[in-house]
Structure 1
Amino acid sequence: MNSNIALPKHVKIVEVGPRDGLQNEKESVPAEVKIELVNRLSSAGFRNIEAASFVSPKWVPQMATSAEVMAAIERHPGVVYSALTPNMQGFDAALAAKAGEVVIFGSASEAFSQKNINCSIAESIARFEGVAKAAKQHGLRLRGSISCAFGCPYQGEVPLAAVADVVGRMRDLGCDEIDIADTIGVATPRQTQAVMRRAAQEFAIGGLSGHFHDTYGQALANIYASLEVGIAIFHSSVSGLGGCPYAKGATGNVATEDVLYLMQGLGIETGIDLDIVVDAGQFIAQFLGRKGASRAGNAIAAKRAG
């Protein structure tokens, strides 16, 4: 920890639990539970919540209720509700559902792209041209998400140049924000800083975000390392929802409660009420019938009960 480095004073936390977190759950989560979760998170003060995914229900059955969820949530003024849109059909559904931001995605790993969607990185991103254009025409925010930016389950190491290339492609599509994601949770702090600095050569650092998984227990350390180089947007998932399908038995997204506890300790403003998030985390963990994966959330809940 270098005390001479000025950390950002404000940080935006993008809550991804309702989409990225729940989509990995095997048991179906009813729409009313998702609606309740989004409503609780909205009242906690998040400015951006990833609430839906308009993909084929055949591929992601858990997200089949996205239109229902988006129609019933209590929308708070100034809160952006985001939806994942893989194609124009998904975009049209997101538009009809009044999403404030659409999310497109690509991989920094050629092997991952070929293995998962059967095409090259360049081809996969070219497919989003129509979505990007439509988002701009309709005045929606456009976010690009880059998976496997720190490591790949198939090819291992991912070169910095590969990450920079995809950042550049996303920038050229007109993305307002670009997520640099550690999909399998293998990153460590120095590597994190190298990747973020390289990405910042292609896109304004104020629009870059860190999306870290906690597979190897490094997510909070990587968030701190990102703060040191000026990253001020992070993704997290309430109660640590979301497994990682490419790393057996791994935990998924870093828990929102843990990130908020870190930010509080650093004196960094988020505008989010940690106590309300802890309640939301306990609510969804209880519904899923298991203990939440957030250490801070569980500690605060235990202290209250004590």
Structure 2
Amino acid sequence: MSDHAEVMKGIHQYPGIRYPVLTPNLQGFHHAVCVLCAGLSIRGKHYAAKSDRSKIHLQPLWLTVSKRLYGMGCYEIALGDTTGVGTPGSMKRMLESVMKEIPPAALAVHCHDTYGQALANILTALQMGINVVDSSVSGLGGCPYAKGASGNVATEDLIYMLHGLGVDTGVNLCKVMEAGDFICKAVNKTTNSKVAQASFNA
């Protein structure tokens, strides 16, 4: 989280693509504004007024304040299972509840794979009309607020599932696996992607 300003300055940003960053405090928010981030993932309502003045879109994560934040003008509300304990059943119940107040077009899901339920949860969300999903190459990452939580669902596994459903993602799965392999070697980690493991061991 602390190096998003350097990352944003160092990458080539393509037109029409959002590059969201997580800003868990006001200092991080200001740093993100300075590098003109188009999408910010925040924690807490006190950023809303500032974001309106800065013309920055917000992507809050707290389910408990989803309705209030939507009313404040947040364009996208990401419902996050950062501990990875959710199941398709709980995902369905959560979305049914939230969608009574917020349209599916304004919702996204952020599923970690601690209990191996991320893809099943995402499929449930897709079937309910959600079309924005967070993922992480090689499933890297974790949750600093939940000890033992694994990373976000692997991008490679998500793409493989979407392609199997006939969804044209426009993403080259082989290239993503290559990127994941490069990153894992660079940080000395083992990929959490089942698709990558199966492909490299084939």
Aligned counterpart for 1:138 among listed residues 50, 54, 70: 54
Q: Secondary structure at the match of 2:59?
A: strand
Q: Which residue of 2 aligns with 1:275?
A: 174
Q: Which residue of 2 aligns with 1:187?
A: 86
Q: Which amino acid aligns with 2:60?
A: G
Deviations 1:85-112 (A, max 9, x none): 344433321121121112212xxxxxxx
Q: Which residue of 2 aligns with 1:102?
A: 40
Equivalences for residues 19-58 of structure 1 within 5 A: 53=1
Q: Which amino acid aligns with 1:140?
A: I
Displacement of 1:215? 0.9
Q: 2-side partners of 1:222 and 1:182: how far apart?
A: 10
Cα root mean square deviation, aligned: 1.8
Q: 2-side partners of 1:247 and 1:134: how far apart?
A: 32
- Contact in 2 for aligned 1:255/1:294 (Cα 8 Å): yes
Deviations 1:160-210 (A, max 9, x none): xxx4x4111221231110011112111111111110111111211111111
Q: 1-side partners of 2:26 and 2:111: how far apart?
A: 28
Aligned counterpart for 1:212 among listed residues 111, 123, 142: 111
Instruction: Report how many aligned residue pairs link the two structures.
Output: 201
Aligned counterpart for 1:265 among listed residues 164, 169, 183: 164
Q: Which residue of 1 aligns with 2:141?
A: 242
Aligned counterpart for 1:89 among listed residues 21, 24, 27: 27
More strand by share: 1
Q: 1-side partners of 2:171 and 2:49: how far apart?
A: 33
Q: Which amino acid aligns with 1:138?
A: S
Displacement of 1:270? 2.1
Aligned counterpart for 2:18 among listed residues 80, 95, 114: 80
Unaligned segments of structure 1, at least 5 residues: 1-52, 54-62, 106-123, 147-162
Q: 1-side partners of 2:147 and 2:114: how far apart?
A: 8
Unaligned segments of structure 2, at least 5 residues: none
Q: Which amino acid aligns with 2:37?
A: A
Q: 1-side partners of 2:91 and 2:6: how far apart?
A: 38
Q: Secondary structure at the match of 1:145?
A: coil
Q: 1-side partners of 2:189 and 2:23: how far apart?
A: 30
Q: 2-side partners of 1:224 and 1:99: how far apart?
A: 29
TM-score (norm 1): 0.61
* Residue range with higher mean Cα deviation, 169-178 or 260-269: 169-178
Q: Quick one: percent identity of the two aligned structures?
A: 40
- Contact in 2 for aligned 1:213/1:254 (Cα 8 Å): yes
Q: Which residue of 2 aligns with 1:111?
A: none
TM-score (norm 2): 0.90
Q: 2-side partners of 1:189 and 1:267: how far apart?
A: 21
- Contact in 2 for aligned 1:257/1:296 (Cα 8 Å): yes
